[in-house]
């Protein structure tokens, strides 16, 4: 009951990359960089296990950014000539690569870190991939001329990599779709369908993470404009409830999401965000257990997973570590409180 997991990313150590940045520059190259990525992955596996988490991730130490880490391994994309594009409905500008030809995987994308992680933890291993709709929103299209067509093309590539990750021994494959909270109608119309293409044929557990973004200023400012009640999930959850995706990760603690929206996910495992990633204040175990208690009004006990609201990548290592411990301690307290 109340398994604990992170959404996905963790801070990169200063010897691996620039710290507290969303698109950090690597500190080395070639074989040295590969070794540094491996070392950082092992360090975070150990830290998650020491904190007492039940589901372990690679902390996304081997990718610069959660979308571009995948896109870098795709043929048909010009990574040399990035352009500035407003992303997430122009919430902020990003330097994005351009799609210039039919899309095809160059080979395996995440074999190195997935196999490494599998070798070094006996716990459940979760691996994250960007969702098709979020990828489409983070690249410039100079070829397809149609969002849905391009999303389906990316979904096929994601499916190829997801099946290979499953063969590597990954237990849970999670697709990250923050774009679902920005283009709600599109998400319901074709985003969920694209996700199901990406997850086609998987027999491991499948998950989707939908959030209000990392704790960066552009997102914090955006959230200020969303009003008293954040009802974005209301438009997307019914489509997800009907889908084959088994777990859904959502923001809860310190968000303005009405908790009763979790009811719309009937039948799914719900990864409830009990850790705020936009604040350096460490949650107390009591606060974490309280959030779990709130979610229990709408989610059955055996369906509730305690999670972070989003990735912890732009935070300091110390804060992230303390938050992992708060997550595990809070879930343990909730088991005592609500376990009977």
Residue numbers at the binding site for Zn ion (CB under 5 A): 211, 310
**β-strands 140-141, 205-209 pairing:** unpaired
Task: Using the minimum distance from each CB to Zn ion, give the nearer residue, 211 or 328.
Answer: 211
The sign of the CA dihedral 161, 163, 169, 170 is positive
Residue number, 40 or 211, with CB nearest to Zn ion? 211
Gap between the Cα atoms of 70 and 161, Å rounded: 10
| Minimum separation from the CB atom of position 273 to Zn ion (A) | 9
> Please, are residues 258 and 279 in contact by the beta-carbon 8 Å criterion?
no
- Total Cβ atoms within 10 A of residue 160: 15
How many degrees, rounded to 5, is the angle at CA 148 between CA 144 and CA 150?
40
> Using CA atoms, how far apart are residues 114 and 124, in angstroms rounded to an integer?
12
Q: How far is CA 241 from CA 10, 261, 269, in A?
A: 29, 12, 10
- CB of 153 or CB of 310, closer to Zn ion: 310
Q: How far is the CB of 29 from Zn ion (least distance, A)?
A: 29
Least CB distance to Zn ion at residue 24 (A): 17
Pick 144 or 237: Cβ nearer Zn ion: 237
Give the C-alpha separation, 72 to 164, whole Å.
17
Report whether 62 contacts 10 (CB < 8 A): no
Q: How far is the CB of 256 from Zn ion (least distance, A)?
A: 16
* Alpha-carbon torsion (39, 45, 47, 49), positive or negative: negative
Nearer CB in complex with Zn ion: 125/277: 277
Residue number, 131 or 168, with CB nearest to Zn ion:
131
Q: Report the residue number, 1 or 218, with the smaller CB distance to Zn ion.
A: 218
Q: Answer yes or no: are the C-beta atoms of 22 and 43 closer than 8 Å.
A: no
CB of 211 to Zn ion, least distance (A): 3
Pairing type for strands 74-87 and 92-105 reads antiparallel
CB of 136 to Zn ion, least distance (A): 17
**Least distance CB 101 / Zn ion (angstroms):** 30
* Residue 334 · residue 301 · CB < 8 Å: no
């Amino acid at each position: 009951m109340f398994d604990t997991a992170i959404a996905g990313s963790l801070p990169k150590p200063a010897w691996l990359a620039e710290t507290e940045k969303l698109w950090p520059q690597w500190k080395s190259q070639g074989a040295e960089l590969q070794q540094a990525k491996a070392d950082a992955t092992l360090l975070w596996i150990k830290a998650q296990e020491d904190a007492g988490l039940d589901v372990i991730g690679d902390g996304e130490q081997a990718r610069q950014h959660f979308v571009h880490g995948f896109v870098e391994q795709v043929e048909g994309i010009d990574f040399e000539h990035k352009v500035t594009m407003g992303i997430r409905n122009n919430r902020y500008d990003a330097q994005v690569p351009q799609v210039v030809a039919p899309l095809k995987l160059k080979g395996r994308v995440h074999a190195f870190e997935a196999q490494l992680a599998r070798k070094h933890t006996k716990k459940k291993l979760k691996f994250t991939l960007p969702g098709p709709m979020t990828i489409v929103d983070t690249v410039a299209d100079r070829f397809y001329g149609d969002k849905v067509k391009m999303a389906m093309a990316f979904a096929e590539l994601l499916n190829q990599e997801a099946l290979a990750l499953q063969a590597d021994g990954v237990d849970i494959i999670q697709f990250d779709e923050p774009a679902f909270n920005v283009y709600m109608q599109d998400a319901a119309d074709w985003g969920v369908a694209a996700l199901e293409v990406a997850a086609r044929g998987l027999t491991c557990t499948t998950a989707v993470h939908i959030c209000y973004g990392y704790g960066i200023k552009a997102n914090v400012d955006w959230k200020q404009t969303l009003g008293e009640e954040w009802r974005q999930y209301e438009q997307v959850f019914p489509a997800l409830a009907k889908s084959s995706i088994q777990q859904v990760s959502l923001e809860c603690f310190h968000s303005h999401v009405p908790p009763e929206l979790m009811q719309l996910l009937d039948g799914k495992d719900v990864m409830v965000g009990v850790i705020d990633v936009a604040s350096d204040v460490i949650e107390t175990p009591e606060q974490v257990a309280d959030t779990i208690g709130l979610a229990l009004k709408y989610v059955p006990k055996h369906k509730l997973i305690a999670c972070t609201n989003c990735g912890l990548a732009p935070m300091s290592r110390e804060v992230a570590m303390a938050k992992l411990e708060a997550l595990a301690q809070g879930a343990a307290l909730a088991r005592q409180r609500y376990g009977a």
